Structure 1
Amino acid sequence: MHDWLNQPGYGALFVLSFLASTLLPLGSEWLLVLMLANGYDPVAAVATATTGNYLGAVTTWLIGMYGGRWLIEKVLRVSPEQEERARSHYRRYGAFSLLFSWLPVVGDPLCMVGGMMGINFGLFSALVASGKLLRYAVTAWITLKISS
């Protein structure tokens, strides 16, 4: 495997994927698609995006666990409606709703509410990392199929 750390695309993908998994309204799939279309290694790109996105979700979980109401409501501007939607997913699907943490709008609040509800970190990690890996792997697979 070549020295992928020296290629700036991977660093940008990591940072964007991290930020996209916090409560900021960003997406990272477009950069993954662009990098794959330009010949970047698919395994390294998917691993980079998944790692960044997972660590962003862990940050959001930690905010839910330790952040307090002021940080959640005033700084992050999570509305009571967003929080209630995430809680209703938990009531309906339990901790397995974290498999959907990759979804837009509801995914990031799911991670935060997981922290607020004290979801076990090991279970959180397994579910969130699995969902995020699957999303990026499918995105990469579709990109590579279309571009070949």
Structure 2
Amino acid sequence: MLEKILAAVATWIMSVISTMGYGGIVLLMAIESACIPLPSEIIMPFAGFLVTKGEMTLWGIALAGAIGCVLGSIPAYYLGMYGGRPLVEKYGKYVLISKKDLDMADRWFAEHGEIIIFIARLLPAVRTFIAFPAGVARMNMTRFIGYTFAGSLLWCWALGYIGMKAGQHWEDLKVYFHESHYVIAALGVIFIIWYVRRHFKNEHEA
């Protein structure tokens, strides 16, 4: 049942991008960066696949993704700034953010300072909730946006590049797979299942 729901989510993601183009990428990446588990590991590779169709450009999708990340991260930043750690702990579980996740983000922010905002944007899972400790610490908004944009641009470009390369070699790969979008959806579903199970494991250990 869970797999069917997740597959439907993956199909919806690809439908949004196909219909809205760059605007769809901005929207979906904003949702992902607002701490809603909508994986960029589906969003950006599929956008990269469309690059091979001539519908988009690699730097265009990377820029759209980075802009979306910034737009989605700002509400999370202010939630941490005005709500503080207690509010995030109380409601974070509804978007699959565990206390262990927050402890890790706080520790990284304390140990490495503001540069961790850039680094975390290059890491799966962590990138979705790193804005909270930045808000709690009242990090300078200009630097927060700068680090978020720079890290997200690299992340989105890399995932888009993977999707683009897969598309360019699809004639070779289709011997093993029948439909490209099914492959991307399957990989995304695997990632979401890992993310959900990781959350409940962290909750149990907390």
TM-score interval, normalised by the smaller of the two chains: 0.7 to 0.9
Contact 1:13 1:31 survives alignment (8 Å): no
The yes-or-no answer on 1:23 pairing with 2:35 is yes
Contact 1:18 1:56 survives alignment (8 Å): yes
Contact 1:60 1:111 survives alignment (8 Å): yes
| TM-score, length-scaled by structure 2 | 0.61
Could you list the per-position Cα deviations for residues 58-101 of structure 1 after superposition, in whole angstroms to 9, with x for gaps in the alignment? 22111111234554123332432111100111122111000123
The yes-or-no answer on 1:41 pairing with 2:56 is yes
Kindly, what percent of the aligned residue pairs are identical? 24
Aligned partners of 2:160 and 2:98: how far apart in 1?
33
- Please give the residue correspondences for 1:1-148 in structure 2 after superposition, counting only pairs within 5 Å: 8-27=20-39, 28-42=43-57, 43-69=59-85, 71-77=87-93, 78-102=97-121, 103-146=123-166, 147=168
Contact 1:21 1:108 survives alignment (8 Å): yes
Flag the structure with more relative contact order, 1 or 2, with Cα contacts below 8 A and sequence separation at least 6.
Answer: 2
Contact 1:14 1:51 survives alignment (8 Å): yes
CA-CA distance at 1:29 after TM superposition = 2.1
Give the CA RMSD over aligned residues.
Answer: 2.1
Query: Structure 1 stretch 41-50 or stretch 54-63: which is displaced more?
Result: 41-50
Aligned partners of 2:86 and 2:107: how far apart in 1?
22
- Partner of residue 9, structure 2: none
**What 5-or-longer segments of structure 2 have no aligned partner?**
1-18, 170-206
Could you list the per-position Cα deviations for residues 35-59 of structure 1 after superposition, in whole angstroms to 9, with x for gaps in the alignment? 3243222232222111111111122
Q: Given the superposition, is the C-alpha separation of residues 31 and 60 from structure 1 closer, same or farther in structure 2, using an over 3 Å criterion?
A: farther
Query: Structure 1 stretch 20-29 or stretch 122-131: which is displaced more?
Result: 20-29
**What 5-or-longer segments of structure 1 have no aligned partner?**
1-6
Larger radius of gyration: 2
Aligned residue pair count: 142
Letter in 2 for 1:38: K
